[in-house]
Amino acid sequence: MTDTVLSTEAAPRLNRRQAAKVRTRQKVLDAARSLFAERGYEPATIRDIAKGAGMSTGAVFANFQDKAELFEAVLTEDMTRLAEVVEAGAPQGEPVRQRLLGALSAGYHSSLDQLPLFQAIVARSWFQPLAAEMRARAATKNLLLAIGGILQEAVAKGEVNKDADIRLLVELIWDAYLSNYRRAAYDEWDAQALSDHMGKQIDVILAGALSAK
């Protein structure tokens, strides 16, 4: 009986603490995201992230082991959000080319204000421990599924050949999509220019997979 009373009393106290912990964690994440998005990975220091979140570096380290873990948490949140944007961006009832382009164009439009963050994500994907790479792939999975889903629907509608290698097409489209961010970083292309180029790339990649009329 005493145990039950204690635990019912303890529960809300624990929840308040947990809720505070979640809020603190999110505050750190948001400060980290805006600093990574502004400067990229290397120049963003834990000290400045803590300052941005209005807390001590100790409070940051109570939530995240190091900058790499913090970066990974930001990456996961952002890839989840980007997958939603891409999925929602595909116009209903359009041909597969327009659906893919609408989806990826929505991706560019929603992410270009965080360009240094994207550059940092791709740069780090070339040099990270295997476990971190596997977590990054898991975080990107919904994005690739969104692109694959559009292609699968097109197969079902007879727009794309049944024997097309969907996985290979998704990979080529995703590589081209990511690669284009370098045009934004170094050649000042905006989201519209990136989308126009992506349209040409989609045409090349789909050319052999589209069903003959």
Question: Which chain residues interact with a copy of itself by CB under 8 A?
Answer: 40-42, 119-120, 122-127, 130, 133-134, 165, 168-169, 171-172, 175-176, 179, 182, 185-186, 200-201, 203-205, 207-209
* Torsion on CA atoms 130, 165, 88, 91, rounded to nearest 10: 160
Q: Shortest distance, CB of residue 183 to a copy of itself, whole angstroms?
A: 10
Taking the least distance from each CB to a copy of itself, the nearer of 77 and 133 is: 133
Is residue 43 within 8 Å of residue 22, measured between CB atoms? Answer: no
Q: Shortest distance, CB of residue 212 to a copy of itself, whole angstroms?
A: 12
Q: Shortest distance, CB of residue 140 to a copy of itself, whole angstroms?
A: 12
Q: Shortest distance, CB of residue 5 to a copy of itself, whole angstroms?
A: 53
Taking the least distance from each CB to a copy of itself, the nearer of 18 and 179 is: 179
Chain position carrying tokens 């803590």: 50
Q: Shortest distance, CB of residue 22 to a copy of itself, whole angstroms?
A: 32
Taking the least distance from each CB to a copy of itself, the nearer of 62 and 134 is: 134
Taking the least distance from each CB to a copy of itself, the nearer of 53 and 143 is: 143
Taking the least distance from each CB to a copy of itself, the nearer of 96 and 120 is: 120
